[in-house]
Chains A and B, each alone.
Chain A
Amino acid sequence: MKKRLRVAALLLLVAAVGFWLATGANRGWTKNSVPQRTLDEVTGIEGITYEKHFAPGVDFLGAAGLGAGFLAGLSFLFRNPSNKP
């Protein structure tokens, strides 16, 4: 059980970092939408609309790290298997 928890912690961390890297390695806050700008040629004004797009940020990594830490910490509640004959 101890080993399983630690493996789970490691997998969680690796998956979170991998997902963060794959989605653009956003070093700011997590975003649920991104601004899109379109130029109005008559007035020269750039209109702003928002497109739904999940971009995990540093807070996402922090949450994954906390989760992995929790699982790893939980593993210490379990004793090592006994080697007594």
Chain B
Amino acid sequence: MKTKLHVLLALAGVTTALAAPQTFDFKDPKGVNNATFKLDAPLEAINGSASGISGAVVFDPDNPAATHGKIVVASESLTVPNAMQRQHMQGAQWLDVAKFPEITFESKELKNVKTSGDTTTADIIGTFTLKGVPKEITVPVKFTYLKDKLGQRVPNQKGDLMVIRAGFSIKRGDFGVNQGQMEDKVSDTIELTLSIAGASPK
């Protein structure tokens, strides 16, 4: 009887260990993580990207619906191919990066969670903060859990990877970014994508 109890307790311990949520760190030493943005404009759409991405997401492979976390983009890392446009974009009239150094998204809850193999899709409801203005938005997201793949990316390191891909749009006016101004020259709608990988070392 005692032996059976010990076996049961041991099994419970192992099961708990296997189901433990993991924290994935999105500060990428390889500098591959990126967010892109696109705004329509006369002559040519404005396309740019940001690489200064950090943050953490807690993910439980056995309970993806409980995923939560925060992703941070350094405003200063936003760039476009034209140097003068970049200077204007980062200036006080637009993003004012000196005063608002971070753009963040913090999750609140997940809906429509669907898991197939190592891929989970969901709609994340959370707070998107741009130029110091927070706003609740819903972002469709795809998580890909890559078990034991950290070693392939970072030599001599064991652990798991988590890839997050998202695509959504916002209106710059909602966040006070040159609100109502120059909409004939720079679209109010900004299309955003996020392609990031986080690591959970063991």
Binding site for B on A (CB under 8 A): 27-35, 38, 40, 42-50, 57-58
> Is B196 at the interface (CB under 8 A from chain A)?
yes
A33-B83, A45-B196 provided; 9 other pairs, C-beta below 8 A? A29-B82, A29-B85, A35-B81, A38-B32, A45-B163, A47-B30, A47-B31, A48-B51, A58-B43
Taking the complex as formed, is B179 at the interface, i.e. its CB lies under 8 A from any CB of chain A?
A: no
The answer to whether A45 and B81 touch across the interface, beta carbons within 8 angstroms, is no
Contact B34–A45 (Cβ < 8 Å): yes
| A47 → B minimal CB distance (Å) | 4
Closest to A30 in B: B82
Bound-state CA distance A43–B146 (Å) is 8
Q: Is the CB of B195 within 8 A of A45?
A: yes
A-B contact pairs, 9 of them (CB 8 A): A29-B82, A43-B32, A43-B153, A43-B197, A45-B34, A47-B33, A47-B34, A47-B51, A50-B81
Top 10 closest pairs, chain A to chain B, by CB? A28-B44, A47-B32, A31-B81, A43-B197, A32-B83, A40-B32, A45-B195, A48-B49, A42-B153, A42-B152
- Which of the four size classes fits the interface of chain B? 20 to 34
A35/B43 in contact, CB under 8 A:
no
Residues of chain B lying within 8 A (CB to CB) of residue A27: 43-44
Smallest CB separation, A63 vs chain B (Å): 12
At the interface, yes or no: B90 with Cβ under 8 Å from chain A?
Answer: no
In the complex, residue of chain A having the shortest beta-carbon distance to the beta carbon of B161: A43
Which residues from chain A contact B30 at a C-beta distance below 8 Å?
A: 40, 47
Contact B161 A42 (CB under 8 A): yes
Chain A residues within an 8 Å CB radius of B68: none
CB distance from B195 to the nearest CB of A (A): 5
Q: Tell me whether B79 is interfacial, beta carbon within 8 Å.
A: yes
Distance in Å from the Cβ of B74 to the closest Cβ of chain A?
A: 15
Residue of B nearest to A53 (CB): B81
Q: Is the CB of A33 within 8 A of B81?
A: yes
Does B36 sit at the interface, judged by CB under 8 A?
Answer: yes
When the two chains form their complex, are residues B43 and A42 in contact, meaning their CB atoms are under 8 A apart? no
The answer to whether A46 touches B195 (Cβ under 8 A) is yes
Annotate B47-65 by CB proximity to A: 1 below 8 A, 0 otherwise.
1010100000000000000
Contacts of B36 in A (CB 8 A): 48
